[in-house]
Amino acid sequence: MKMMKARVPTGIPGLDELISGGFAENTVNLVSGPAGSAKSLMAIQYIYNGVKDKDETGIYLTLEEPRDNIIRAMSVYGMDITKYEEEGKLVLLDLGEVRRRLETSEEEGVVGFEAIINLMKNLLQFTGAKRMAVDSVTAIGLYYEDSPGKLRRELFKFAGFLKEQNITTLLVTESIEDGELTRYGIEQFIADSFIVLGLEDVKGELRRTITVRKMRFTKHDTMKHPMLITSSGINVSAESKVF
């Protein structure tokens, strides 16, 4: 009988109830959804809750939103990272800082997976981080827009690198309007878990939903559930279902 992996709680009310207490330890997890579905907020809460509730150092890598915007968004939901940054418990990196650390002069403002791996090797060793969020894979994919085959190879290599580290990662990607659940159609295959956020128009009112479509090493709920945005962030209605 296989033993269940240790769990890494997200700390998001309702979500951990759907996934046997949290993500499986040392796995690569993926969240996808359209614009406005709270993908980034989920990643932010995952990192912040780990630092605040579990004393686990976390890294949040933002490749689209500037650092100031992330800090402003966190403050709206009562998340003040000043103390944790000063203690070295939370590392918030934006693309500009990544490029400076890599000493790259690329004017287009995008970097590939190899550059991210080179940066993370040193950063993970230096910080001893146990959690990491990358927001987003979509932004990194732009580096390979002329070579879909290379994107697939490099994405698999990146996932392999993450699985070799003593870290539990949450990757963010976007869904697109033609019904595809991920931007490039391959992200879900490299991840150990796949969570889909929805933003549906119901009689003129937007309704947020969450579905756990895949989670290795875990007995998990597969139903679609309502998801609310409260003053403290995401709250999943684990007892309710959307049909």
Q: What pLDDT sits at residue 218?
A: 87
pLDDT digits (tens, 9 = 90+) for 155-203: 999 999 999 999 999 999 999 877 789 999 999 999 999 999 999 888 8
Give the pLDDT band (50/70/90) at residue 1: very low
**Mean pLDDT score of the chain, rounded to an integer?**
92
DSSP β-bridge partners for residue 171:
30, 134
First to last CA, the chain: 35
Q: Where are the domains of the chain?
A: 27-202
Q: Which two tokens stand for residue 135?
A: 């927001």
Bigger pLDDT: 111 vs 213? 213
Decide: helix, strand or coil at residue 140: helix
Residue 37 predicted with pLDDT over 90: yes
Whole-prediction pTM: 0.94
Level-2 CATH architecture, domain 27-202:
3-Layer(aba) Sandwich (3.40)
Element (H, E) at 67: helix 67-76
Bigger pLDDT: 170 vs 217? 170
Strands annotated E in the chain: 7-8, 23-24, 28-33, 58-62, 90-94, 131-135, 168-174, 193-202, 205-215, 224-230, 233-236
